[in-house]
């Protein structure tokens, strides 16, 4: 198990469009293992590979509640196949934008197609927290952050705050 460093705003890599995985081989499985360890350690409910500076379309999630059993899921090349008209609001956060939370409205349910840990094609219907998490993580694969779904005013404030913090850090 290896904990990987999570990159944070305003790292430009967070805006990259990630490359599809050719096949789920041992290297991708090792990446998924590291991502799960890193996500649980953080702790978080989802992580995209680009958040550990790997430009691949790989996502891990665990949307189980604190007192429930763990439900780790690994996705290679996940794609949203359908979304419900009904919307749901969640207070979202992101391990790459620490300590910032804001309400985001997204489809309440969605379908996702992907390759699983064994490289098998799968389709899954998601609702509740998992629906939000998988949409948030697939956004990451396309260089989209949850702050892109909030008002420009709030987004500008948070980007400025993180940019200033980064400058202070590099000046220190």
Per CB under 5 A, the segment of 24-32, 72-80, 86-94, 152-160 that binds Ni ion is 86-94
Shortest CB 60 distance to Ni ion, Å: 12
Question: How far is Cα of residue 137 from the mean position of the Cα atoms in its chain?
Answer: 3
Check residue 112 for interaction with Ni ion (CB under 5 A): no
Cβ atoms within 10 A of the Cβ of 91, count?
9
Cβ atoms within 10 A of the Cβ of 101, count?
12
- What is the 3-class SS of 72-84, one letter each residue? CEEEEEEEEEEEC
CA atoms within 13 A on the CB side of 67: 0
Within the chain, where are the H helices? 26-41, 128-141, 152-171
Which are the contacts of 40, defined by CB distance < 8 A and separation ≥ 6? 62
**Residue 24 or 94 having the CB closest to Ni ion:** 94
Residues 89-108 that bind Ni ion (CB under 5 A): 94
Q: State which residue has the least CB distance to Ni ion.
A: 94
Shortest CB 129 distance to Ni ion, Å: 14
Single out the catalytic residue among 91, 105, 137, 169: 137
Residues 13-72 that bind Ni ion (CB under 5 A): none
**Residue 74 or 94 having the CB closest to Ni ion:** 94
- 155: tokens are 């987004």
**Residue 76 or 94 having the CB closest to Ni ion:** 94
Annotated catalytic residue 137: yes
**Residue 31 or 48 having the CB closest to Ni ion:** 48
Shortest CB 140 distance to Ni ion, Å: 6
Cis peptide bond prior to 94, omega within 30° of 0:
no
Active site residues: 137
The site for Ni ion (CB under 5 A) is made up of 94
């Amino acid at each position: 198990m290896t904990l990987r460093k999570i990159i944070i705003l305003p790292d430009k890599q967070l805006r990259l469009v990630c490359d599809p995985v050719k096949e789920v081989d041992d290297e991708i499985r090792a990446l998924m293992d590291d991502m799960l360890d890193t996500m649980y350690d953080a702790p978080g409910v989802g992580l995209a590979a680009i958040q550990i500076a790997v430009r691949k379309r790989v996502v891990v999630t665990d949307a189980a509640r604190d007192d429930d059993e763990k439900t780790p899921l690994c996705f290679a090349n996940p794609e949203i196949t359908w979304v419900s008209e009904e919307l749901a609001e969640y207070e979202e956060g992101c391990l790459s934008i620490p300590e910032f939370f804001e309400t985001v409205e997204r489809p309440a349910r969605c379908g996702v197609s992907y390759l699983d840990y064994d490289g098998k094609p799968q389709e899954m219907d998601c609702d509740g927290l998992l629906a939000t998490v998988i949409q948030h993580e697939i956004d990451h694969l396309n260089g989209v952050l949850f702050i892109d779904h909030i008002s420009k005013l709030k987004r500008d404030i948070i980007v400025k705050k993180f940019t200033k913090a980064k400058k202070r850090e590099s000046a220190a």
